[in-house]
Structure 1
């Protein structure tokens, strides 16, 4: 009894320490006392360390659990922090879901191996099987206990508030207290559950799971029978079908594992369950192969994306399990023993895969960026169908690829690419906008085309973005819809000025003046005369797409000489007033 109480105190203290450490790290990160990447590494280190030590202290003892938990935590935190280097912001990295999936595998799969290594050897399957399921049950029971503790606390707070006492609520307002309570309750729950291992064991749960074998096998069998008749058209439309296949394959593998148990003595005795388990193992490769095929078809048609890379890794691991189970069941003899050894090997492969996908050797974002760029270069996707926004979300590799496209779009001959990037609002630099405008602008007189770039550079960025999209198009006659005309509009200024005309067929038209003074070229307003819009506004000419198109067509017939406008100005000090025609 004394040892049991001591164990409870140790586990409660460990849980309390976990809660306080995690609270401290969240405060450090919120206050930006360390970089996001460092903060993520420290948080993963703490979570993985305490998760491991709470799971291993009962079976191994605190002294041996400490170094094992530390080793697992250091490896997981290091790999996850390394993977975070793919993104400028840790939040974007977490948004991929990859750190959660890989982190869970790296944190929990090594735990039964560490426990087994401290006993009968890390390859002892009965220990691995038992400790894996024991850890699941212990954590589940402890989590339920934490929920009950919080229910009691909240109920107690409401009861005391009836008589005007807010002591519990005031205590909970201290930020560290909820963390401490949760951690301590989790540690105490783990300690008590460990003591009652004979009473709270996974045996009952596993025996209940076995009963689902025939049911799930029947559903899988119906699927396989219906598949040839229904065809594969609906099977590979999206990743959701592939995810369903992989999920059912995971459920099937779990059910087979529960049936064969940790040893021949503990395996299911019912002939129905044994036969169901073997048949399920035989057909499992079909489901995993279909999932792999579905992903491959998507990649062949649309290239790699980070989601497809992750799905492909999961599918490849699933296919590995399927082949292990299928081959073991097909060979007969001690097929259950073969699956047990295959489970051991595949657990190591899964851990290696979770680690590898966090390294540059299997970087989903880099693989995807290279794939989509290759498709664009090969002409398998047109610029207007390319997902530039997705590319920018793919971490530093995607941004580097996007920047390469921006530089490419600025080069002559890539106007379609520049127009496509502008059309979707991607940040393209001014040189790209200007290059696109120049490529679609007719200059009058043509001898002054060399000056066009200097003149149009005076447009602001928003105007460049607008006109690069407009000028990239052509009119119905195939001629440019933008024109830059040089003339002496302002006799009071030296040299010629310029008039920029642009029309977007069927939508809008624009007139912009460009004048040059001591500081260089700058935009100027254009006053126009022409047909009035109606009686309510007799002095406002209608300038739209058709009108600007007509002006451009007229200018193509010959650039007329400027003529003076008969205007007089009333000079009032610094003010000048005139009536516009």
Structure 2
């Protein structure tokens, strides 16, 4: 069933597929021209982001009568995302969360899109919920359909290229390897699909009804499963969750998000289109009610992590997600209490409307450089170190170096200049050229490695320790580093033996050493079996690493 008020917002416009195919195809071509070989140039990436998001927004909003408003909205979306892309590329190394900020901008754009389509700019809080509901689902369906058609178009093109290849005509094959053609073809196919789908109001309405019906069928078992989960958690205590997995928070948030989607699949846009099944309505009530408990459990899980490890930019973003989930859960509880038995569905729809506006504004705020999660987290971690809550040996210096952005690096610089026990660890972290990963302490001094080097050469030992400070996992316990050869550039090839295996590594040329010219590499002749070829078995000598007289791992050669 299609709401009469919402369905009239999309007019059948024969020119739409052609216009959108041209706009998205041209945008794809320009994106390629601006970024080819310059993916790390901030202004070029910003232009590409503007073209990408403005063109996609146009595909959703372009109408024959209201085209000026659609153009202004699309330009605003493009400028916002261009600014975020420029910031992420230009300051990427000094930002702790550039990808999260960009994702927040995408979320704000996605939420703003159906609000604009429903006329929120003019109607404000009087915007009909049915219009917003219609655009949310039809946008999702038409977007998925356009992506599916684009993939199908590429499959057809690939089949045709192979067909013509049989005739030794490789024009299509060659085109598939060209970057400009790939972007342009994808844009044209996607734009044409958008135009055709958004011209088919009745088809979109039917597809929306089918999608909502399928999701409604899933609501009953999911509601039952979540109720059983919460009951089991209440009986066994929440501690069992943290003992079973380290990823309880994202799992709980995913369940809360799923409950929200399935609740709205049953609610629909008004009482007339809502399922008359009593079981379905009870499932919607249950799903609406379990969002808050799931969010509270996620908050409790995050609280345990914060108590153990303190704040980090990633955990702060997790807290934001938990706050949003709690807001929806609490809003749903208030709506259920206000609506009571006869009017609870209407109150839930009102809560959806107001919460969506709030989340859109929050996402835009978080996308902008207003709150510095890196600085907030750095202050928290330094306070834990200074108070003795975490020792200098166990403090995560690598996280400050690689995850907290510029505030973390500044904090390490100050620590390295000090005279505390943290100074040496901080200096090692500052000298890191790549992120090292360990399950316990991230930074290790030379004396922290239980290492033997063969041959016992001080210069070789220094080079091995330099390597291990970047790759501490290679020597978690007792290990032996043995030189296995010399590389073509004069550096040393080593094997680091630990436990029942070993890894190989190539060390750079020692500082001040003369670097020999690289020898010419001769390609061995290829053997091809012919009539009269001599075929024989030979024993080839290979080198192994032996520990206590027994070979370890695969041969070196």
Between the aligned partners of 1:236 and 1:358, the Cα distance in structure 2 is 31
Q: Is the 8 A contact 1:72 1:106 kept in 2?
A: no
Q: 1:152 to 1:256 in 2, by over 3 A?
A: same
Between the aligned partners of 2:390 and 2:20, the Cα distance in structure 1 is 58
Match of 1:221 in 2: 227
Query: Does residue 293 of structure 2 align to residue 286 of structure 1?
Result: yes
Post-superposition shift, 1:362? 2.7
Post-superposition shift, 1:88? 3.1
| Structure 1 counterpart SS, 2:36 | helix
Between the aligned partners of 1:356 and 1:84, the Cα distance in structure 2 is 19
Match of 1:264 among 268, 271, 291: 271
Post-superposition shift, 1:58? 5.0
Q: Is the 8 A contact 1:73 1:107 kept in 2?
A: no
Between the aligned partners of 1:118 and 1:216, the Cα distance in structure 2 is 33
Provide Cα deviations, 1:523-547, integer angstroms capped at 9, x if missing partner: xxxxxxxxxxxxxxxxxxxxxxxxx
Q: 1:226 to 1:368 in 2, by over 3 A?
A: same
TM-score (norm 2): 0.70
Between the aligned partners of 1:65 and 1:93, the Cα distance in structure 2 is 31
Post-superposition shift, 1:65? 1.3
Q: Which runs of 5+ in 2 are unaligned?
A: 1-10, 433-444, 447-461, 470-557
Post-superposition shift, 1:405? 1.4
Between the aligned partners of 1:355 and 1:208, the Cα distance in structure 2 is 32
Between the aligned partners of 1:284 and 1:183, the Cα distance in structure 2 is 39
Query: Does residue 175 of structure 2 align to residue 165 of structure 1?
Result: no
Match of 1:574 in 2: none
The alignment's C-alpha RMSD in Å is 2.9
Alignment of 1:152-551 (within 5 A): 152-201=156-205, 202-236=208-242, 240-331=247-338, 332=340, 333-393=342-402, 394-408=404-418, 411=419, 414=420, 416-421=421-426, 426-427=430-431
Q: Is the 8 A contact 1:288 1:315 kept in 2?
A: yes
Q: Is the 8 A contact 1:324 1:342 kept in 2?
A: yes
Match of 2:15 in 1: 6
Q: Is the 8 A contact 1:72 1:107 kept in 2?
A: yes
Post-superposition shift, 1:426? 4.4
- Structure 1 residue ranges, 4+ long, deviating more than 6 angstroms after superposition: none
Q: Is the 8 A contact 2:27 2:51 kept in 1?
A: yes
Q: 1:116 to 1:375 in 2, by over 3 A?
A: same
Post-superposition shift, 1:21? 2.2
| Structure 1 counterpart SS, 2:311 | coil
Q: Comparing 325-334 with 12-21, which one deviates more in the overlay?
A: 325-334
Between the aligned partners of 2:31 and 2:88, the Cα distance in structure 1 is 21
Post-superposition shift, 1:108? 1.4
Between the aligned partners of 1:158 and 1:85, the Cα distance in structure 2 is 42
User: Larger Cα Rg: Structure 1 or Structure 2?
Assistant: 1
Post-superposition shift, 1:252? 0.4
Post-superposition shift, 1:173? 3.2
Match of 2:31 among 6, 22, 35: 22
Post-superposition shift, 1:99? 4.0
Q: Which runs of 5+ in 1 are unaligned?
A: 429-435, 438-461, 470-581
Q: Is the 8 A contact 1:8 1:191 kept in 2?
A: yes
| Structure 2 counterpart SS, 1:235 | helix
Q: 1:93 to 1:288 in 2, by over 3 A?
A: closer
Between the aligned partners of 1:152 and 1:18, the Cα distance in structure 2 is 23
Post-superposition shift, 1:93? 5.5
Match of 2:82 in 1: 77
Between the aligned partners of 1:247 and 1:63, the Cα distance in structure 2 is 39
Q: 1:3 to 1:343 in 2, by over 3 A?
A: closer
Q: Is the 8 A contact 1:157 1:169 kept in 2?
A: yes
Q: Which has the higher contact order (CA 8 A, sep 6+)?
A: 2
Q: 1:99 to 1:60 in 2, by over 3 A?
A: farther
Q: Is the 8 A contact 1:172 1:178 kept in 2?
A: yes
Between the aligned partners of 1:351 and 1:200, the Cα distance in structure 2 is 25
Post-superposition shift, 1:4? 4.1
Post-superposition shift, 1:25? 2.6
Provide Cα deviations, 1:139-175, integer angstroms capped at 9, x if missing partner: 1111111111100100011111111110111223332
State the number of aligned residues. 422
TM-score (norm 1): 0.67
